[in-house]
Amino acid sequence: MSSCDTCLVRNRAICSALSGAEVEALNTIGRHRTLEPGQSLIWEDDESILVANVVEGVLKLSTGTEDGREQIVGVVYPADFIGRPFGGRTGHSVTALTSAKVCVFGRRDFDEFARNHPALEHKLLERTLAELERTRSWMLLLGRKSASEKVATFLIDMSERLVDTGCEGDGASLSRFELPFSRQQVADVLGLTIETVSRQFTRLKSEGVIDLPSRREIVIRNRDELEAQAG
């Protein structure tokens, strides 16, 4: 791999816990890989053989149901860590939603490196606990919130993650970003039908809360109202 000095997520990824010399040592066991939309990096139920940092792009975590349907169970963004360190099988597939670049490590090499660098292990624990909190919040969204609350919460979450990772923004009251999801995928994530999602988007637009310049582009025009509708 090229030097980590120019990495776009150097100060936000798990390797931010390491010194410059330690990062260079980690660099020797990693490699960059570019993914096209729809290309998978990890497959559900396979043995865990690699882990990775997301450098650019957005990827989905998904699992299959017994009748062959896909359920999206999470989304990862630049600076997020993916894969299952320290053994076991992977519980979900990881697939690029957009063009993406990842920093890939062989799982066994990474495990050995992490054991010898407690600061990295600590950072992994912090990330795991943060992800657990996000999962608990998502359980509340899926289990208790109405359709309108789900869509509003989803748009707020997307704006926070996508605008923070380099998408165009216009300040606190107006933010612009492009969804990496189709309407059907939004429905799958939220446990709704595509018709319900489309109705909610249309309603929010008619109320002046959001604007929809294109099929996937979102402009939040009234964030306070969107947050109120998210409950």
Per-residue pLDDT of the chain (231 residues; tens, 9 = 90+): 456 777 878 888 888 888 888 888 888 899 999 999 999 999 998 999 999 999 999 899 988 888 887 878 888 889 999 998 887 888 889 999 889 999 999 999 999 999 999 988 888 888 888 878 877 777 777 777 899 999 999 999 888 887 643 344 444 457 899 888 889 888 888 888 999 999 999 999 999 999 999 988 999 999 999 999 998
Fold for domain 145-229? Arc Repressor Mutant, subunit A (1.10.10)
Tokens coding 13: 């990824």
CA–CA gap between residue 192 and residue 196 (Å, rounded): 6
> Which one-letter amino acid corresponds to residue 162?
L
CATH superfamily of 4-141: Jelly Rolls (2.60.120.10)
CA–CA gap between residue 124 and residue 128 (Å, rounded): 6
Element at 150 (helix H, strand E): helix 147-164
pLDDT for 227? 94
- Any idea what DSSP says for residue 6? G
Whether the full predicted model's pTM is greater than 0.85, yes or no, is no
pLDDT for 123? 87
pLDDT for 2? 53
Same CATH topology for 4-141 and 145-229? no
Closest CA to 165 of 13, 50, 20, 52: 13
Domain boundaries, the chain: 4-141, 145-229
CA–CA gap between residue 215 and residue 179 (Å, rounded): 9
